[in-house]
Structure 1
Amino acid sequence: MKLALLSDIHANLQAFDACLAHAQAVGAQRYALLGDLVGYGADPVAVVQRVIQMAGEGAIVLKGNHDEMAVMPDGANKTLGGSTADWTHAQLDAEQRAYLDALPLTHREDTTLLVHASVDSPGRWRYVDDERSAGASLDACADQPGVHYVFGGHVHQQMLYYRGTGRGLMKFAPTPGVPVPMPRHRQWVATIGSVGQPRDGDPRAMYAVFDMSAAQVTFHRVPYDYQSAAAAIRAAGLPEYFAKRLEDGR
């Protein structure tokens, strides 16, 4: 089965649509949305409604930190994400907020564990951005025997880590569009990047497809109309910084 993995959509409908179309074209059979459906972007209502529809059709959906903030915004939170939480909260209706609030933090699918941030205390939103933090996330699976693959988002970059013969993890930067074998005798941690907020200087959207039968993952970069997404942010009266960030891919 080919499982499309999408994370950090951030209310960017244009990027979301582009990634879903690409995933369908490459034969994705199921979808997993790993959190941060909202925040930063101009279309939280349309994105959440699309996600609710997909969940009804069998998609896996997890909660991210921006989803949590949108449900219960903290006015004292002066971070960049906190600055749009009140606005997003006001856009969503009670049913949509309740949906986000009820989302799980993790999901297990056979030998695969899905999470937004780190399996190590997933509700504390720790970043998996180096070998040490990837190892901590993998070690937290010890109470779930048989987990060989951990997929997450949160860091807005595409990276792969694997455990070789020792306890330490090795880091591997994937090439978009090139399948990476993930033999089952090893353990793996992957961050799949961001659909709606790439931050590596490339504005193209990010997602990945995990072929569970073949035990291989392919990371993808997808062109989309980021100018329209940026224009929507400006039209909504959200901070200019968020529009510029889409245009710069940072």
Structure 2
Amino acid sequence: MRSCPPGIVYFEAAWRACALSRTRVAAPAVPGRRRLRIHLAGIDAVRGRSMKIAIISDIHGNIEALEAVAGELDRLGVREIVCLGDIVGYGASPRECLDFVTERATATVAGNHDAAAVCEGASDFFNQAAREACNWTVRVLRASDRAFLASLPLRVKLEALKVELVHAECVMPRMFDYIQDCVDGYRALQMVEPGNVCFVGHTHVPVCFQEEGPFYADCGRHRFDPKSRAVVNVGSVGQPRDGDRRASFGVFDSEERVLEVRRVAYDYESAARKIREEGLPQVLGDRLRFGR
């Protein structure tokens, strides 16, 4: 593991933004894993054709929630998935969640818990429960898991879709700051290219910030102005914090510029039981029951 400068989460291979063209981009090979498929910018090349993309974030080692979301996506016929990071941390099934993301996600960015799993000292700023979960996660990850996490960029731009992906916020992605209010949201909007939608995670709460206002506290279904900017959080798959314990995710129609934030119930008791059985802090299982 790499040592981090104080106060900064250093993430290997993540200092650069990943600007994608319409052509398929070869990503670093990870031993024992399929090659990453970062090619989403080219899959809607047929002009006038609707393209639906699933946006998932903050899975946090909760395979029960992730499988429920996957089942709903299959039912909806949505095949392309992008992941906004924090695949691991908190939950008791990090390897299973990493297997899903490496197999199914078209593009993935790094979250702070992903960074902490491969960066020595990065969890020093976590609360005690998060730090204990991080230490446990580090012990159970495989070498291929660590290689995958260390290969992730902090930011991805899907130029053809006019979509940007980042885990925390757009101003200084490597600092993993929170977009918590309208001031933060407005500041983040200024870093998004005109006409683009930037999808973020990190707070585990669905919210939409638009250039023209107003700000929507629970996105639901929304159509974006193709000429203006937007910053959107689709909530958390594996640890929602808005009082709704159901897994949260988004489905974005790139042609119509329409996003729908959806919820799906899952077996949270099973996820909480696994947390308890692995000796992780009980609070991490308890909060799944309340969505807080």
- Note whether the superposition's TM-score is higher than 0.5: yes
Match of 2:196 among 124, 148, 162: 148
User: How many angstroms apart in 1 are the aligned matches of 2:276 and 2:92?
Assistant: 8
1:202: Cα distance to partner?
1.5
Match of 2:255 among 204, 213, 225: 213
Task: Kindly indicate whether the alpha-carbon contact (under 8 Å) linking 1:13 and 1:229 is maintained by their aligned counterparts in 2.
Answer: yes
Match of 1:13 among 33, 54, 63: 63
| Residue equivalent to 2:208 | 160
Match of 1:64 among 99, 105, 111: 111
User: How many angstroms apart in 2 are the aligned matches of 1:12 and 1:32?
Assistant: 17
Helix, strand or coil at the partner of 2:262: strand
| Residue equivalent to 2:217 | 173
The residue type equivalent to 2:277 in the other structure is A
| Residue equivalent to 1:138 | 189
User: How many angstroms apart in 2 are the aligned matches of 1:212 and 1:99?
Assistant: 27
The residue type equivalent to 1:31 in the other structure is I
1:73: Cα distance to partner?
4.3
| Residue equivalent to 1:54 | 104
1:86: Cα distance to partner?
1.1
After TM superposition, the structure 1 = structure 2 runs for residues 23-102 of structure 1, keeping only pairs within 5 Å, are: 23-55=73-105, 59-74=106-121, 76-77=124-125, 79=127, 80-102=129-151
The residue type equivalent to 2:118 in the other structure is V
1:156: Cα distance to partner?
0.4
Helix, strand or coil at the partner of 2:214: strand
1:235: Cα distance to partner?
0.8
1:95: Cα distance to partner?
1.5
Output the TM-score relative to the length of structure 2: 0.78
User: How many angstroms apart in 1 are the aligned matches of 2:195 and 2:97?
Assistant: 31
User: How many angstroms apart in 1 are the aligned matches of 2:189 and 2:133?
Assistant: 32
The residue type equivalent to 1:210 in the other structure is F
The residue type equivalent to 2:98 in the other structure is V
Output the TM-score relative to the length of structure 1: 0.90
1:72: Cα distance to partner?
2.3
Q: Which runs of 5+ in 1 are unaligned?
A: none
Percent identity of equivalent pairs: 35
1:224: Cα distance to partner?
0.4
User: How many angstroms apart in 2 are the aligned matches of 1:76 and 1:150?
Assistant: 29
The residue type equivalent to 2:226 in the other structure is R
Tell me the alpha carbon deviations over residues 201-234 of structure 1, each in whole angstroms, 9 at most, x when there is no partner.
2210110011101110000111000010001101
User: How many angstroms apart in 1 are the aligned matches of 2:77 and 2:225?
Assistant: 21
Report the count of equivalent residues: 238
| Residue equivalent to 1:22 | 72
1:239: Cα distance to partner?
0.5
User: How many angstroms apart in 1 are the aligned matches of 2:202 and 2:126?
Assistant: 19
State whether structure 2 residue 164 is matched by structure 1 residue 122. Answer: no
The residue type equivalent to 1:22 in the other structure is E
1:248: Cα distance to partner?
1.4
* TM-aligned CA distance change 1:215 to 1:129, over 3 Å: same
User: How many angstroms apart in 2 are the aligned matches of 1:86 and 1:181?
Assistant: 41
Task: Kindly indicate whether the alpha-carbon contact (under 8 Å) linking 1:229 and 1:243 is maintained by their aligned counterparts in 2.
Answer: yes
User: How many angstroms apart in 1 are the aligned matches of 2:133 and 2:279?
Assistant: 11
* TM-aligned CA distance change 1:78 to 1:123, over 3 Å: closer
